[in-house]
Amino acid sequence: MLAGLLTVAGIGGAAAQSPAPAPAPSATTQRPPFAISGWHYERRADTHLFRCEQPQCGAGSKVSYRFYTGGNQMTLDQFRDSQNQVIKALEQRTPGQRITLLGVDGDKGTAVPRMYKARRLTVTPAGASEYQVNGLMFGAQGSASLISSASDEKASNDNYAKFAAAVKLVLAPKTR
């Protein structure tokens, strides 16, 4: 489970490969399940990455999301524990980097829909600060991870909220 979280957090990079995969379309021809105006889109394997291009979202801020199949029974306590493990791994990866877990919120139980959210502050060895909101959302159509990062806490939270609304729609049950 930690390896999967580290991959979502941008640490891991291993992925299973099938023999002779078909060439992937270029990043410019692939379209995300949804997009929000004012953001530049990049496709990175199975992750959808957006970079803010306007002052309102904090130019240079990033948001990424990734979808998974359903059936994940992770609890809020397990999510909280996983965040502590991710923080330890990130701090070990970059000596001198300090990460503070500002808060963890989420729904109790394992019924869908539910979501978990962790807020962190990272201070690099050079003193630069970055705020992150990391979330997992679970719905009838599967689950998703969503990560927002910005140099400003309000921008990180606001950007997360904008993308979370769209992710929830993708994960919602299909209706007629």
Domains of the chain in start order, with CATH, are 35-171 (3.40.1000.10)
48: pLDDT confidence band, cut at 50, 70 and 90? Answer: very high
Whether the per-residue pLDDT at 74 is higher than 80: the answer is yes
22: pLDDT confidence band, cut at 50, 70 and 90? Answer: very low
DSSP code, position 26:
P
Q: Which residues pair with 146 in a beta bridge?
A: 65, 135
Token pair in block for residue 66: 């990734």
Token pair in block for residue 135: 């979330």
What does the pLDDT average to over 28-35? 74
Residue-wise burial string across 87-113, b where 16 or more C-beta atoms lie within 10 A, e elsewhere: bebbeeeeeeeebeeeebebeeeeebe
99: pLDDT confidence band, cut at 50, 70 and 90? Answer: very high
CA distance 40 to 37: 8
Comparing CA positions, the residue from 140, 137, 124, 123 lying closest to residue 167 is 137
Rounded to two decimals, the pTM is 0.80
Position 31 scores a pLDDT of: 81
What does the pLDDT average to over 99-103? 98
Whether the per-residue pLDDT at 38 is higher than 50: the answer is yes
Q: Determine how β-strand 114-123 pairs with β-strand 62-68.
A: unpaired
Whether the per-residue pLDDT at 176 is higher than 60: the answer is no
